[in-house]
Structure 1
Amino acid sequence: MTIRPATEADWPAIWPFWQEIVEAGETYAYPLGATSDQASGWWFDGSHVVVLTDADGAVLGSAKMGANRPGRGAHVGTASFMVDAAARGRGVGRRMGEYAVQWHRDQGFAGIQFNAVVETNTAAVALWQDLGFEIIGTVPRSFDSTTHGRVGLHVMYLDLS
């Protein structure tokens, strides 16, 4: 598996799993029914965007990362991750998570803050905790899960100092 910077030419490979994940209504608060153009604009928003590919060059997942806030908050990073359902359980999320942590370190960020990890997304919560992130708070009933109804969003943090 290889992680490389994504380009707009990768979007046709990202879009199907981006759409599937968002429309499932379990992990992201992007608006339902987004067009490919809208979604591409949200994903390629000036952040550092990468894809993870297999040996044949097929895109298995994508991540975007950068400053969590502008200006005086720009020393803390953030990231978002999406993995194609067909590639889950193969370490794609972990590889991209490890990449994101190292990328933030290399860029001089003081920490990484995930603003909204859905508490029922137990695989993601466990992965981030395994990579050293802590749950520093939970906003109750702030995500409307298709399956579970209103559930909490964890704020998770990794100190890079």
Structure 2
Amino acid sequence: MRIREYTEADWAQVRPILTEVIEAGDTFPYDPAWPSEVLHDVWVERPPGLTVVAEADGRILGTAKAGPNKPGPGSHVASASYMVPAAARGQGVGRALVEHTLDWARRQGYAAMQFNAVAESNTVAVRLYRRLGFTVIGTVPQAFAHPTLGRVGLHVMHRFL
């Protein structure tokens, strides 16, 4: 598996990944009714951000995006998001994408990385982020409408780089 920068030619494989994850409704606070153009605009980062794909044998196994968490005075803190389809989970794709974005953020001079909305019910992601040095600095109660668990908290997670 290699991680490389996203190109527009990748959209045909990236879009179904985003659609699968968003339609599951259990991890991302994105609207499944968004048309492809809106989804593209939300996912594909513009400079100074980064969008990447994890690829093996011409097949995209996952995708990530990273960039400044906020503009101006908050631009020294990075944020990132990751999507891996069910068929590729458990193969280290998510971990590789997180490590890649952390390395990228360090090289870009960011001081820290912050995730603004990690569903507390997404225990696999929370466990991975903790293993990679993130801590939960707060939880917004009942901020995410999980399709089977009802309203669950959204963690804000952070680590210095």
TM exceeding 0.5: yes
Inter-partner Cα distance in structure 2 for 1:146 and 1:79 = 24
Q: Deviations over 1:70-116 (max 9, x none)?
A: 00000000000000211100000000011111111111100000000
Q: Which amino acid aligns with 1:117?
A: V
Per the alignment, residue 85 of structure 1 pairs with 86
Per the alignment, residue 51 of structure 2 pairs with 49
Per the alignment, residue 2 of structure 2 pairs with 2
- Check conservation: 2:45, 2:66, Cα contact below 8 A: no
TM-score, with structure 1 as normaliser: 0.96
- Check conservation: 2:140, 2:154, Cα contact below 8 A: yes
- What aligned pairs does 1:15-54 form with structure 2 within 5 A after superposition? 15-46=15-46, 47-54=49-56
When structure 1 is superposed on structure 2, of 90-99 and 22-31 the one drifting more is: 22-31
- Check conservation: 2:64, 2:83, Cα contact below 8 A: yes
Unaligned runs of 5+ in 1: none
Inter-partner Cα distance in structure 2 for 1:45 and 1:53 = 19
Q: Post-superposition shift, 1:10?
A: 0.6
Q: Post-superposition shift, 1:154?
A: 0.3
Q: Post-superposition shift, 1:45?
A: 3.5
SS for the counterpart of 1:97 is helix
Alpha-carbon RMSD across the aligned residues, in angstroms, is: 0.8
- 2:62 aligned with 1:61, yes or no? yes
Q: Post-superposition shift, 1:119?
A: 0.1
Unaligned runs of 5+ in 2: none
TM-score, with structure 2 as normaliser: 0.96
Q: How many residues were matched structurally?
A: 159
Percent identity of paired positions between Structure 1 and Structure 2: 51
TM superposition outliers: structure 1 runs of 4+ over 6 Å: none
Inter-partner Cα distance in structure 2 for 1:45 and 1:87 = 23
- Check conservation: 2:45, 2:67, Cα contact below 8 A: no
Per the alignment, residue 133 of structure 1 pairs with 134
Inter-partner Cα distance in structure 1 for 2:64 and 2:156 = 18
